[in-house]
């Protein structure tokens, strides 16, 4: 599926063709979920049939009791009365037992489906390329995994079972009434006309308002998540008041939409009851008249009234189901949207063999733009021999990080090729690629767990000696030892909190232990103070030995350890030489370097 689908995901106004495609997509997901549980579904259905059939027998037995068993009992023959009472009891117990069995059974099936869906959604979302995640906000991702899955869960938990049971119950009741007294059944059929009109109106209304309600609640979540993830910026800029106002508007929106939904129910429910009561009254009147003329027994009349009255019982539940169905459906639509996103950087099916990566990089006629964005790299050619240390400098927005993302294959070039040791990156298996090329960014994310775990991320089977050696190499060992539990300190516990600079040092250790052929540092030393940076620089020389490195840094101190400096401007390399040569020259870099030297003095 294209990215267009993502943009339209939360948009209510889809055009016809899009909404058809969305429907098809969510049906596909539904079928794929059902495929694994077909047998269970058949089993559940059978149990519902039995339990509902047993429920419907009741009024028929009462008819029999009034017309046959009672007169016989009055004459002193209790046999039929006992028999009817016994049958009634057996049906009641049988129906209760099968219903309970069915509910437990159906619940198990539902849980299996939900498990499968949650698992799939997590795996798929995580697998999608960075391009997806740079577009699809975390609020929306969270909304998929919480809100939408919950709505599907709600449908499965209550709606589905009751709706299937309700419809079967109505069909059985209709059949029972028709065979008991066809004329009463015809009256019931008449009642179908207003019932159908009312229900159609209800469906249309709830469909519309339910969609709105889902969008409004998703907006609430997105706003909430955004505020809380950006809470530092919110506090720093005293944005609380504005956020609060925005939030209040959203809450009010959501409230008024829900009020509208309740209003619709306020019309539908009493309407339903009224139609039911009028039908019962009609059956009573018509049956009473026939009874008066003696061609309708009291037993039949009682049975007909009971069936007519009971016929409408599940209607309310079915209406509720429609509700749950509406929200589950839009949940399904959105979840299926994410599940049908393809990774924009797909793994090759027949990858090249990459035994010992050397680390030579080549850009051949690379053109790059982000999807529907302006061209960032117009025509890029660059050869980096294996083992060379590059310092990449240039003004903000020049395209340095973009270049780094292309080397890491977070994105594929729009045209041309990026190659490692002569292999197009698109032909290298993901595992090989991740082993060969590692990027360290300013973000330096630490995951929940110990410091040791976080370093070992670069090499999952690393021994504790290796972990310590890596920490020593980048000069973070002393700091780690000063933490309460040393390497076993939990980064999320009190005392385990580390500063931005310390985080960067730890992520260096992570990169060091991964031992990649190509290492990219994108502003990876930006949070370090001058002494720490010196320390890292010392470590960097160890870290960079024997591998290709691209160091992106605004602070030019890193440049001293580079073999070659590339100056980038508007997606082009404008200077490319050894640092000493460039500094001695009169170009852009010489000016940058002089300004930087002056700033230090």
Interacting residues with ligand ATP (CB under 6 A): 134, 370, 373, 376, 394, 396-402
Closer by beta carbon to ligand ATP, 398 or else 511: 398
Closer by beta carbon to ligand ATP, 113 or else 520: 520
Closer by beta carbon to Mg ion, 394 or else 413: 394
Q: How far is the CB of 577 from ligand ATP (least distance, A)?
A: 20
Reference 419, options 336, 484, 361; nearest CA is 361
Partners of residue 440 on adjacent β-strands: 521
Residues contacting Mg ion: total by CB under 5 A? 1
Three-state SS string across 165-198, please? HHHHHHHHHHHHHHHHCHHHHHHHHHHHHHHHHH
Q: How far is the CB of 442 from ligand ATP (least distance, A)?
A: 9
Q: Specify the DSSP class assigned to residue 352.
A: B
Q: How far is the CB of 133 from ligand ATP (least distance, A)?
A: 10
* Distance from C-alpha of 366 to C-alpha of 425, rounded to nearest angstrom: 13
Site string for Mg ion, 366-405 (x = CB under 5 A): -----------------------------------x----
Which of Mg ion, ligand ATP, none does residue 543 bind to, with CB < 5 to 8 Å depending on kind? none
* Distance from C-alpha of 254 to C-alpha of 213, rounded to nearest angstrom: 6
Closer by beta carbon to ligand ATP, 394 or else 413: 394
Closer by beta carbon to ligand ATP, 132 or else 169: 132
Q: Which two tokens stand for residue 223?
A: 């706003």
Q: How far is the CB of 567 from ligand ATP (least distance, A)?
A: 11
Q: How far is the CB of 526 from ligand ATP (least distance, A)?
A: 10
Which of Mg ion, ligand ATP, none does residue 370 bind to, with CB < 5 to 8 Å depending on kind? ligand ATP
Which of ligand ATP, Mg ion, none does residue 2 bind to, with CB < 5 to 8 Å depending on kind? none
* Distance from C-alpha of 576 to C-alpha of 568, rounded to nearest angstrom: 9
Q: How far is the CB of 599 from ligand ATP (least distance, A)?
A: 17
* Distance from C-alpha of 538 to C-alpha of 534, rounded to nearest angstrom: 6
Residues 398-437 that bind Mg ion (CB under 5 A): 401
Closer by beta carbon to Mg ion, 441 or else 489: 441
Closer by beta carbon to ligand ATP, 397 or else 546: 397
Q: How far is the CB of 390 from ligand ATP (least distance, A)?
A: 14
- Reduced DSSP (H G I as helix, E B as strand, rest coil) percent helix, strand, coil of the chain, to 5: 70, 10, 20
> Phi, psi (5° rounding) for residue 418?
-115, 130
Closer by beta carbon to Mg ion, 456 or else 526: 526
Residue nearest to Mg ion (CB): 401
Q: How far is the CB of 407 from ligand ATP (least distance, A)?
A: 12
Reference 566, options 380, 415, 424; nearest CA is 380
Contacts of 405 (CB under 8 A, 6+ apart): 130, 411, 439
Site string for Mg ion, 12-51 (x = CB under 5 A): ----------------------------------------
**Contact call for residues 501 and 534 (beta carbons, < 8 A):** no
Which of Mg ion, ligand ATP, none does residue 397 bind to, with CB < 5 to 8 Å depending on kind? ligand ATP
Q: How far is the CB of 441 from Mg ion (least distance, A)?
A: 9
**Contact call for residues 446 and 491 (beta carbons, < 8 A):** yes
Reference 456, options 404, 405, 510; nearest CA is 510
**Exposed e or buried b for every residue in 33-43, given b needs 16+ CB within 10 A?**
beeebeebeee
Closer by beta carbon to ligand ATP, 319 or else 361: 361
Q: Which two tokens stand for residue 211?
A: 């969609």
Q: How far is the CB of 228 from Mg ion (least distance, A)?
A: 26
Reference 384, options 574, 526, 551, 515; nearest CA is 551
Closer by beta carbon to ligand ATP, 54 or else 528: 528
**Contact call for residues 588 and 566 (beta carbons, < 8 A):** no
Starting at the earlier edge strand, list the strands of the sheet with 564-569: 437-441, 518-522, 548-552, 389-394, 564-569, 572-577
* Distance from C-alpha of 211 to C-alpha of 280, rounded to nearest angstrom: 36
Binding-site ranges for Mg ion (CB under 5 A): 401
């Amino acid at each position: 599926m294209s990215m267009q689908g993502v943009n339209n995901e939360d948009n209510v106004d889809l055009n016809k063709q899009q909404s058809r495609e969305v429907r098809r997509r969510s049906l596909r997901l539904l079928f794929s979920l059902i495929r694994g549980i077909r047998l269970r579904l058949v089993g559940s259905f059978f149990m519902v049939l039995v339990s509902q059939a047993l429920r419907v027998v009741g009024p028929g037995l009462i008819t029999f009791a009034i017309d046959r068993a009672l007169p016989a009992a009055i004459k002193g023959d209790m046999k039929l009365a006992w028999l009817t009472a016994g049958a009634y009891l057996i049906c009641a117990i049988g129906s209760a037992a099968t219903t309970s069995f069915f509910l437990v059974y159906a619940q198990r099936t539902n849980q299996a489906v939900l498990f499968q869906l949650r698992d799939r959604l997590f795996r798929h979302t995580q697998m999608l390329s960075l391009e997806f995640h740079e577009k699809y906000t975390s609020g929306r991702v969270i909304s998929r995994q919480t809100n939408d899955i919950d709505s599907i869960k709600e449908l499965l938990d209550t709606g589905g079972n009751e709706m299937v049971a309700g419809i079967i119950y109505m069909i059985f009741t209709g059949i029972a009434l028709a065979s008991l007294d066809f004329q009463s059944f015809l009256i019931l059929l008449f009642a179908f006309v207003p019932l159908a009109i009312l229900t159609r109106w209800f469906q249309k209304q709830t469909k519309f308002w339910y969609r709105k309600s889902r969008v409004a609640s998703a907006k609430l979540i997105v706003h909430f998540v955004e505020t809380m993830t950006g809470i530092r910026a919110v506090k720093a800029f005293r944005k609380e008041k504005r956020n609060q106002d925005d939030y209040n508007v959203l809450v009010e929106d959501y409230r008024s939409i829900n009020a509208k939904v309740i209003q619709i129910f306020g019309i539908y429910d009493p309407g339903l009851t009224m139609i039911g009561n009028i039908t019962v009254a009609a059956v009573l009147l018509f049956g009473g008249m026939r009874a008066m003329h003696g061609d309708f027994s009291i037993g039949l009349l009682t049975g007909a009234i009971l069936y007519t009255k009971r016929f409408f019982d599940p209607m309310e539940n079915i209406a509720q189901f429609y509700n749950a169905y509406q929200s589950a459906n839009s949940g399904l639509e959105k979840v299926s949207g994410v599940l049908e996103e393809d990774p924009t950087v797909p793994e090759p099916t027949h990858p090249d063999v990459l035994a010992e990566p050397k680390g030579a990089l080549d850009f051949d006629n690379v053109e790059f733009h982000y999807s529907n964005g302006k061209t960032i790299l117009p025509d890029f050619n660059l050869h980096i021999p294996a083992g060379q240390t590059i310092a990449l400098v240039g003004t903000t927005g020049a395209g340095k990080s973009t270049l780094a993302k292309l080397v890491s294959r977070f994105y594929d070039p729009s045209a041309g090729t990026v190659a490692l040791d002569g292999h197009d990156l698109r032909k290298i298996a993901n595992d090989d690629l991740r082993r060969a090329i590692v990027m360290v960014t300013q973000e330096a994310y630490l995951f929940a767990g110990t410091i040791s775990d976080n370093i070992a991320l670069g090499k999952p089977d690393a021994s504790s000696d290796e972990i310590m050696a890596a920490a020593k190499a980048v000069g973070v060992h002393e700091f780690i030892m000063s933490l309460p539990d040393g390497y076993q300190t939990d980064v999320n516990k009190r005392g385990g909190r580390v500063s931005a600079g310390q985080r960067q040092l730890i992520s260096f250790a992570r990169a060091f232990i991964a031992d990649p052929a190509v290492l990219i540092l994108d502003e990876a030393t930006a949070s370090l103070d001058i002494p720490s940076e010196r320390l890292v620089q010392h470590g960097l020389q160890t870290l960079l030995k024997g591998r290709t490195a691209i160091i992106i840094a605004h602070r030019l101190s890193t440049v001293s350890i580079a073999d070659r400096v590339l100056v980038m401007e508007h997606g082009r390399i404008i200077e490319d030489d050894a640092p000493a040569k460039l500094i001695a020259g009169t170009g852009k870099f010489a000016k940058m370097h002089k300004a930087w030297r002056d700033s230090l003095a």
